[in-house]
Structure 1
Amino acid sequence: MELTPSAHLDTFARDQLPPPERWPHLLFELPELAAYPDRLNCGAELLDRTVERFGADRPAFLDGEGGVWSYGDLLDRVDRVAHVLTTDLGVRPGNRVLLRGPTTPWLAACWLAVMKAGAVAVTVLAQQRAPELAVMAEAARCSHALCDARVLDDLHAAAVPGLRITPFGGDGPDDLLALAARHPKPYEAVATAADDVALIAFTSGTTGRPKGCVHFHRDVLAVADTFSAHVLRPVPDDVFAGSPPLAFTFGLGGLVVFPLRAGASAVLLEQAGPKQLLAAIGRHRVSVLFTAPTAYRVMLDELGLGDAADGAAPDISSLRRCVSAGENLPEATWSAWYARTGVRLINGIGATELLHIFISAADGDIRPGTTGRPVPGWQARVVDHAGHEVPDGEEGLLAVRGPVGCRYLADPRQAEYVREGWNLTGDTYVRRPDGWFRYVSRADDMIISAGYNIAGPQVEEALLDHPDVVEAAVVGQPDDLRGQVVVAYAVVRDGVARDSVTAAALRAFVRGRLAPYKSPRRIVFLDALPRTPTGKLQRFRLRDPA
């Protein structure tokens, strides 16, 4: 595919794109997608153009503690940070800037500033540990990092060669916010190409080695102009909230891109568990909610099964749109939520490789127990392992294509994900005769627990680093609350007690190396792992111990 001349002085990200023959076929059939100009900066489109359309006085971000940023405040702070990036820190268009911190308006402002400066955002979880951070920062060749001052330690411990770290939210003279206060606005956004790289989002594959998913400036707008515009259909008075962090593209879209594109506002919560979400809904009159099925199930327990006679139940009467993604939405959860709230859950499937949701349905289009239909601007089909479409009603691999496609950062696994121009998501689906798609299962060894993707082999590697562990195998097992939970089977050295004390020590060991949500919920000690005569691990026997 012919790319527009780049505005990037540092061309690393574009240079590491897959060869053109490995790209998926892209669709720009919707008029709004075909109308994108060759020069496009998504930060300016989401912020400057929105201010022009709706004014500067409307609320943009709420911090959950009573603080409100207007669109004018946000524009001022983003422009000041962009000045710091280019003037004080020497960030050049195309440089990769790592962003780390809990979900706050300042983290979102940093992301927008990176966009306007023409750099490439690499947003990572505040929970991730030094070894994980080192792998991603080095794979993306990050030159700079903006990090919440409260979570600096692991980033410093990662010891990434050449990485210049600037804290924000601290009290030092070199803190980003102190530097930003010295700069005036406005900042003229770099005139990036529509197909210049805007962000690299990392996901874990079944091997546990992170894959960098490369997305362009036009991709960021395309997910807003397809799923958000045609399925979610937000209005300027909407207030968004949700649980996914901004390091997940589910959260980036639902809490930053979609509300800004619509001129709406978002509540950005550092702690966004079900109880915190319920409190925020009532306090801020949240109307659009993004979270995983697990959270909806927990919130149902908090709400109770019937109307609260004493009036003590959380007030969620402001909700009009509730989006569920990150894992399969059980029909029972959909029905229970609808019965309790009167709100129809919008189910959806997305992928980091494709940036956001591409199959979904809303309102009268919803068929409980299905994911939905292809979002306008997208196509989907179910194929066999040879890539041939299977008849309706038969299980197969989900294949999709649209205005955004998988482009891994210098990774041979591109050939596995993209075949014959289609993106194969790794999910098993059935297409019903009426055109709706029903989820069956994951087609690989990825564990999906409470909306988090967890690669079993990565957890195995962490366990095997412990001196007492001889062998380890990690699988997902069904769980009513989380969908799946991480279960580890371990063989330990002679003389090591196979008891709860050792299990707790191993779980703590993993938490010290990986994000806490990846730590096994259970550890089962075995004499030996089940293997074939040739030595291959038989995971299926561990997934179903019976």
Structure 2
Amino acid sequence: MYKDNFTYKHLPNKELQPEYLLELPQFQHPEMLNCVERLLDSHIENGNGDAVCLRTFEATWTYNDLYEKANQIAHVLVDDLGLVSGNRVLLRSANNPMMVACWFAIIKAGGIVVATMPLLRTKELTTIIDCAKISIALCDSDLAEEMNLVESDYLKHKSFYRNSDLEDKMASKPTSFTNYNSKSDDVALIGFTSGTTGIPKMTAHFHSDILNICEAFPNYSLQPTPKDIFIGSPPLAFTFGLGGLVLFPMYYGASSFLLEKPSPDLLLKAIQDYKITICLTAPTAWRVLTSKLNEYNVSSLRKCVSAGETLPLVVWEDWYNATGLKIIDGIGATELLHIFISSNEENMKPGATGLPITGYEAKIVDDKGKELLRNTPGKLAVKGITGCKYLNREEKQKEYVQKGWNITGDIFKQDDDGYFWFVARGDDMIISSGYNIAAIEVESVLLTHEDILECAVVGLPDENRGMLVCANIVLKDKSKAADELKLEIQNWFKETAAPYKYPRIINFLESLPKTETGKIQRFKLKENE
């Protein structure tokens, strides 16, 4: 048992946790398990230490390089920073090899990783530190300014890397380390859900959870081999990025190309120059990448993955027509760690999110948990090899986990073939004059207009209709923004789709507000109105 028992004390009681589906042999583990041994140490033991593990435009690390640096950092954590098992350690960094080394070092030493998005500010960092009672922070010196402003009674040590004190401490440390002998159901990481105002929700994930997701989505959709090179835009602090850029490649002995600032041009340049084979990014990014394909050679790609938001059919079709590659859509959640509904090239139905992947079950339910008939929109309920475990938030746990199922907050429908189709986020349904209008439906139509590059649809309060459909649009040619074009788009929409869904308000914007993971921040659009 961890010496610091914070997570034990705050995990939800067993009766509040979801039902788990762990019958298959690949999801069964011994009682004592440190996930690092399978993800990193085993490659050294099997004689593959010289294989490339991490790449950037400036550097190449082998598995042995990562192993030795992680071991040295683990010594620093224990010997110099006073880490005891169960301590939470904050990680603040863009995607780079040293962040990965720190991630592994924390778990090797028996700590619990709390990785944070690079754009978070002092107030948000302080909230996270106070919530999780974090005593140690490891931070990229490029992001030191906000970190140095943090003041918390819990935070005892800050250490910085990139030509700073962490490397100085590492220099004298051994390159071997005896991993902490953790249990399979010890917490290895805490993920904070989107938004850090008030009391944010902390989701806990075990060592076994981390290995289980490596057996699920990659085998189902990607079929990775050691020759694969992964790349993507999501931050490693986002579990989509952690899985796709660290856990999955390393579980299968492959490699990952890390970008600190993943602009579309840098993403495409890396794919071209380094013959990347698997790319993961958000729907908005896939649309921009498609528009730039004539400038780069992406013929090395064999798998493309989209998550974070639902993938509009027009984006899928445009990419497929340009490359012949089928983008794999998927839905996951921080609460369940990674993707649980998706598809592969054999069973894909364009426009649908897909089917429950190996290890998961899903259904559509009403407000009372009763399963609905096919083709009826309702709440998405999921259970499987991972599940929601909020720390110290019993009221939120009861909302998310009902009768053993995880209720994700998404509105889906299931067709006659069993495929799940996204309808809306629970809070993105627009009810106007008695009509239920899903924002994603309106967006999918608008994205087929020849002048529209990006759009985000929200509902705005209205005295007469209850809500109005408001479309926030980024034009391909911003000089065309004019009231005449707004009217033209509205009339075109009425001819293209059901007229009651047309956007009665249109705003032309320079850009859409987005999170670091590429999700459109619709709440900001509502606030601006």
Normalising to structure 2: TM-score of the pair?
Answer: 0.82
Alignment of 1:252-401 (within 5 A): 252-304=242-294, 313-401=295-383
Does residue 232 (structure 1) correspond to residue 185 (structure 2)? The answer is no
1:142 alignment partner, SS class:
coil
Alignment of 1:106-125 (within 5 A): 106-125=98-117
Q: Following the alignment from structure 1 to structure 2, what is the Cα–Cα distance between the partners of residues 10 and 488?
A: 47
Alignment of 1:7-406 (within 5 A): 8-34=2-28, 36-53=29-46, 55-65=48-58, 67-172=59-164, 175-204=165-194, 209-304=199-294, 313-406=295-388
8 A Cα contact 1:26 1:403, kept in partner: yes
1:359 alignment partner, SS class:
strand
8 A Cα contact 1:487 1:524, kept in partner: no
8 A Cα contact 1:381 1:389, kept in partner: yes
How far does the alpha carbon of each residue in 1:430-488 deviate from its partner, in whole angstroms, 9 at most, with x for none? 111111111110013699xxxxxxxxxxxxxxxxxxxxxxxxxxx99958555637899
Q: Following the alignment from structure 2 to structure 1, what is the Cα–Cα distance between the partners of residues 308 and 324?
A: 22
Q: Judging changes above 3 Å, is the alpha-carbon distance between structure 1 residues 485 and 148 closer, same or farther for their aligned structure 2 residues?
A: farther
Q: Judging changes above 3 Å, is the alpha-carbon distance between structure 1 residues 523 and 204 closer, same or farther for their aligned structure 2 residues?
A: closer
How far does the alpha carbon of each residue in 1:112-171 deviate from its partner, in whole angstroms, 9 at most, with x for none? 111111110000011001111111111111010000011112122221223134333344
Kindly, what percent of the aligned residue pairs are identical? Answer: 43
Q: Following the alignment from structure 1 to structure 2, what is the Cα–Cα distance between the partners of residues 320 and 224?
A: 19
Q: Following the alignment from structure 2 to structure 1, what is the Cα–Cα distance between the partners of residues 185 and 454?
A: 37
Root-mean-square deviation over aligned CA pairs:
2.7
Q: Following the alignment from structure 1 to structure 2, what is the Cα–Cα distance between the partners of residues 141 and 161?
A: 9
Normalising to structure 1: TM-score of the pair?
Answer: 0.79
Q: How many residues align structurally?
A: 459
Q: Judging changes above 3 Å, is the alpha-carbon distance between structure 1 residues 77 and 517 closer, same or farther for their aligned structure 2 residues?
A: farther
8 A Cα contact 1:428 1:440, kept in partner: yes
Bigger shift: residues 53-62 or 80-89: 53-62
What's the CA shift for 1:64? Answer: 2.5
What's the CA shift for 1:205? Answer: 6.3
What's the CA shift for 1:230? Answer: 2.5
8 A Cα contact 2:133 2:154, kept in partner: no
- Among 396, 417, 425, the alignment partner of 2:400 is 417
What's the CA shift for 1:209? Answer: 4.2
Q: Judging changes above 3 Å, is the alpha-carbon distance between structure 1 residues 78 and 485 closer, same or farther for their aligned structure 2 residues?
A: farther
8 A Cα contact 2:279 2:304, kept in partner: yes
What's the CA shift for 1:519? Answer: 10
- Among 421, 433, 439, the alignment partner of 2:422 is 439
User: Structure 1 runs of 4+ off > 2 angstroms?
Assistant: 50-54, 164-172, 204-209, 444-447, 475-489, 515-525
1:294 is matched by which residue type in structure 2? T
1:368 alignment partner, SS class:
coil
8 A Cα contact 2:130 2:154, kept in partner: no
What's the CA shift for 1:178? Answer: 1.2
Q: Following the alignment from structure 1 to structure 2, what is the Cα–Cα distance between the partners of residues 144 and 206?
A: 19
2:340 alignment partner, SS class:
strand
Unaligned runs of 5+ in 2: 431-438, 448-452, 462-512
- Specify the alignment match of 1:467 in structure 2: none
2:385 alignment partner, SS class:
coil
Q: Following the alignment from structure 2 to structure 1, what is the Cα–Cα distance between the partners of residues 260 and 457?
A: 24
What's the CA shift for 1:517? Answer: 8.0
Q: Following the alignment from structure 1 to structure 2, what is the Cα–Cα distance between the partners of residues 50 and 379?
A: 33
8 A Cα contact 2:129 2:154, kept in partner: no
How far does the alpha carbon of each residue in 1:23-72 deviate from its partner, in whole angstroms, 9 at most, with x for none? 000110221112x111111112200013334611100000232x100011
Q: Judging changes above 3 Å, is the alpha-carbon distance between structure 1 residues 79 and 486 closer, same or farther for their aligned structure 2 residues?
A: farther
Unaligned runs of 5+ in 1: 1-5, 305-312, 448-474, 490-509, 526-541
8 A Cα contact 2:35 2:208, kept in partner: yes
8 A Cα contact 1:241 1:288, kept in partner: yes
Q: Following the alignment from structure 2 to structure 1, what is the Cα–Cα distance between the partners of residues 455 and 240?
A: 18
8 A Cα contact 2:81 2:157, kept in partner: no
